[in-house]
Amino acid sequence: MNGPATTPGPTSRGSWTEALTRWVEGLVPRGQWLPDRQPVYVASWIYVFGVACLASLVVIIASGLVLTLGGVTWWHASTFGHFVNSVHLWSVELFFATMVIHLWGKFFMASWRGNRGLTWATGALAFFGSLGTAFTGYLIQTNFDSQWISTQAKDGLNAAAIGAWFNVMDLGQMVLWHVSLLPLVVGFIVAVHLLLVRRRGVAPPIGAVDPSSEPSSPVAAPASTRSRR
């Protein structure tokens, strides 16, 4: 006679997908990746510039990938190439304009409050990394502008004793820095920055109550911190 069926208990070793899920939820709790509610102060225009900066970065990457398909100089003799290069250039201009406004806005908001110091630091690092990426972009324009910039920059870099490793007169090396190395660094820093923003939440204005630091209670929140859809 067979005994009652038994349900196997949990195994001591879970699958790699379960481990990955636990690791991701440890970084950003479930429901905070794309929340459907935000504090009411997020409707302020100062919070728009971070998203605008991120959208500009997406256009920069997309237009840059199209430019790489034809090589270094093809866009000089192509109408479509001129268009894509212009899109790339103006998206870079918009990227830096929105990033500077975003950076100064968060500085005067003291956005490192509430254990957000690393969020602030990664944002600043992304700005400085973007400066290097933009500099190498100017060097690979293959026109008189890039020629003048490279000849002026080489003296300063040689004086700093780094010209042997970072040769601005070497077009191939600058293309590698601009297309591959620096975008990977900036992309990684931006990804960490976004992860921290989702983990800690957006920084509240000075004087507003931080929802992430409020204890859970049945009492209704004040009007200045109520969430909006």
Q: Report pLDDT digits (tens) over 186-205.
A: 999 999 999 888 888 888 88
227 strand-pairing partners = 39
pLDDT, position 35:
73
3-state SS, one letter per residue, for 176-229:
HHHHHHHHHHHHHHHHHHHHHHHHHCCCCCCCCCCHHHCCCCCCCCCHHHCEEC
pLDDT surpassing 80 at residue 24: no
Q: pLDDT tens, 130-181? A: 999 999 999 999 889 999 999 999 988 888 888 888 999 998 899 999 999 9
DSSP, collapsed to helix, strand or coil, labels residue 33 as: coil
Which has more confidence, 98 or 71?
98
Largest CA distance in the chain: 92
76 close to 142: Cβ distance less than 8 angstroms:
yes
Please give the average per-residue pLDDT across 12-36, as a whole number. Answer: 71
- Where helices occur in 109-181 by DSSP H, the ranges are 117-139, 144-159, 171-176
Q: What percent of the chain has pLDDT over 90?
A: 45
DSSP, collapsed to helix, strand or coil, labels residue 19 as: helix
pLDDT, position 224:
45
